[in-house]
Amino acid sequence: MKLRSFALVLMSGLAFTSLSTQASLVLGTGTNALIGGDLTDPENDGAADANTNYNATFNSSHEAFFGGGEGAFNVFDNILSPRNGKWCCNGPGTAEQDLTSNNVNSVWVEADFGSTRYVLSAFTLSSANDVAGRDADQWRILGSNDGTNYSTIFEYDNNGTSIWNARYQVVEFSSDLGDFAAQNTAYSIFRYEAYSVVSSGAHQLGELEFFGEIPEPASLALLGLGLLGLRARRK
C-alpha cells in the first residue's frame, strides 16, 4: 500500500495548483506498479492457475478461467505479462456504442465476494502487452448484489482513445481523488465491462484491482447511539 499512499500525497500537492484536475493517476508500468493486496486477494498470494487463495470467486462473459489461453481471470493474477498474465482476445469491436441502449455488445469479467459487501473506493486498470488498438475506449465498472441488476460506479466513454499511453501501464481511479462519487452503496459483486476498443477487433486487459471498505453495520451504529442515549439518561 506504500505506493498508493505516496500517490495520494502527490495528488494532494497537485490539488493546490489545479482543483479541477481529472485525477486518474498513472502509477507506473509493470507488475511492481500494481498497488497489490486488493479485495480479491488481500494477502497477494493467489495461486492463479489453481484458482486458490482468493477472497472472491470470478466469472466472465468469455474465457472464464485462469491460464495460458489468455483467460479472463488473468486480470486477477497479480502480474502483468504476456500470455498467462492477461485476458485476450474476445472483442466487442471497434465501433462506438450507445451506452444508453439496452443492446450493447460487451465483454465482462467480475469478482463475487459472496455475502461480504464492500463500498468501492478505488480500482486500477492495467494495459496488456500487445497492440494498443486492443485497449478499451468504452467501459464501465459496475456493482451488484444479485448478479442480475448492476449499477454503474464509473463510466469511461471516449471512442478512439484509451486511458493508457504505455504497455503494462497501471492507472488508478478513486473516489478520494474525485474520479467518481464517494459511494453510499455496498456491493458484493464488482464487474469490469468493455463495449468498444480503439482500433482492433480484439480486446485485452492486463490486470484489475478493486479496493474498498466494509461499511459499519447499521445495527452497530444504532447500538452506539443507544449507548450514547443510555449515558445521557444516567447523567
Contact between 196 and Ca ion per CB under 5 A = yes
DSSP conformational letter for 77: S
Min CB(142)–Ca ion separation in Å? 19
Contact between 213 and Ca ion per CB under 5 A = no
By beta-carbon proximity to Ca ion, the closer residue of 43 and 176 is 43
Contact between 41 and Ca ion per CB under 5 A = yes
Min CB(44)–Ca ion separation in Å? 7
By beta-carbon proximity to Ca ion, the closer residue of 12 and 44 is 44
- Residue in 195, 202, 73, 189 with CA at minimum distance from that of residue 133: 202
Helical H runs in the chain? 2-17, 218-234
By beta-carbon proximity to Ca ion, the closer residue of 12 and 161 is 161
CA distance 116 to 214: 8
Contact between 116 and Ca ion per CB under 5 A = no
Which residue from 63, 110, 172, 207 is in contact with Ca ion, where contact means CB under 5 A?
207
Contact between 63 and Ca ion per CB under 5 A = no
Which residue from 9, 45, 220, 221 is in contact with Ca ion, where contact means CB under 5 A?
45
CA distance 155 to 184: 17
CA distance 132 to 203: 10
Q: Which residue has the cell 479541477?
A: 20
Q: How many residues in the shown chain lie near Ca ion by CB under 5 A?
A: 14
CA distance 65 to 165: 28
Strand partners, 150: 144
Q: 18 near 164, Cβ under 8 Å?
A: no
Q: Identify the sign of the CA torsion 157, 99, 204, 54.
A: positive
Segment lying near Ca ion (by CB under 5 A), choices 32-40, 62-70, 99-107, 110-118: 32-40
Q: 62 near 91, Cβ under 8 Å?
A: no
Which residue from 25, 27, 58, 78 is in contact with Ca ion, where contact means CB under 5 A?
78
Which residue from 12, 22, 32, 53 is in contact with Ca ion, where contact means CB under 5 A?
53
Min CB(22)–Ca ion separation in Å? 20
By beta-carbon proximity to Ca ion, the closer residue of 74 and 169 is 74
User: What is the number of other CB atoms lying within 10 angstroms of the CB of residue 85?
Assistant: 22
Positions in 121-150 near Ca ion (CB under 5 A): 137
Contact between 85 and Ca ion per CB under 5 A = yes
CA distance 30 to 34: 7
Q: Which residue has the cell 498470494?
A: 45
Min CB(173)–Ca ion separation in Å? 16
Q: Which residues bind Ca ion (CB under 5 A)?
A: 38, 41, 43, 45, 53, 74, 77-78, 85, 94, 137, 159, 196, 207
